[in-house]
Homo-oligomer: A and B are copies of this chain.
Amino acid sequence: MVPHLVPRWPVCLFQWRAACTLGACVPQSAWAGASRTPGPGSPRGAVGTSPLVRRGGSSSSSRAPEVMLTRERYPVQRLPFSVVSEEDLAAFERITPGRVVTDPEELEASNVDWLRTVRGCSKVLLKPRTTEEVSHILRYCHERNLAVNPQGGNTGMVGGSVPVFDEIILSTALMNQVISFHGILVCQAGCILEELSRYVEERDFIMPLDLGAKGSCHIGGNVATNAGGLRFLRYGSLHGTVLGLEVVLADGTVLNCLTSLRKDNTGYDLKQLFIGSEGTLGVITAVSILCPPKPRAVNVAFLGCPGFAEVLQTFSTCKGMLGEILSAFEFMDAECMQLVGHHLGLISPVQESPFYVLIETSGSRAGHDAEKLSSFLEHVLDFGLVTDGTLATDQRRVKMLWALRERITEALSRDGCVYKYDISLPVERLYDLVSDLRARLGPKAKHVVGYGHLGDGNLHLNVTAEAFSASLLGALEPYVYEWTAGQRGSVSAEHGLGFKKKDVLSYSKPPAALQLMQQLKALLDPKGILNPYKTLPARA
Contacts and interface: CB of A to CB of B under 8 A. Distances in A.
B517 A520 contact: no
Interface in A486-501: 488-497
A494 B375 CA distance: 40
Copies in the complex: 2
A134 to B, nearest CB: 14
A5 B5 contact: yes
A281 B270 CA distance: 13
A91 interface: no
A496 B497 CA distance: 33
A456 interface: yes
Residue among A228, A265, A273, A514 having the largest count of chain B Cβ atoms under 10 Å = A265
A322 interface: yes
A354 to B, nearest CB: 25
Contacts of A110: none
A152 to B, nearest CB: 16
Contacts of A123: none
Interface string A36-68: 000000000000000000000000000000000
Nearest to A490: B264
Given A263-B228, A267-B535, A489-B261, A364 B371 contact: no
25 contacts: A1-B378, A5-B371, A225-B265, A226-B269, A237-B239, A237-B240, A239-B239, A239-B269, A249-B516, A255-B516, A260-B426, A264-B424, A264-B490, A265-B276, A265-B496, A266-B491, A266-B504, A266-B507, A266-B508, A266-B509, A267-B514, A267-B517, A268-B517, A293-B319, A368-B368
Interface of A: 1-2, 4-5, 7, 10, 13, 182, 225-226, 228, 232, 236-237, 239-241, 249, 253-257, 259-270, 272-273, 275-277, 281, 293, 295-296, 319-325, 362-365, 368, 371-372, 374-375, 378, 424-426, 453, 456-458, 488-497, 504-505, 507-510, 512-514, 516-517, 519-520, 523-524, 535-536
B424 A262 contact: yes
Contacts of A508: 259, 264, 266
Given A323-B293, A456-B263, A372 B378 contact: no
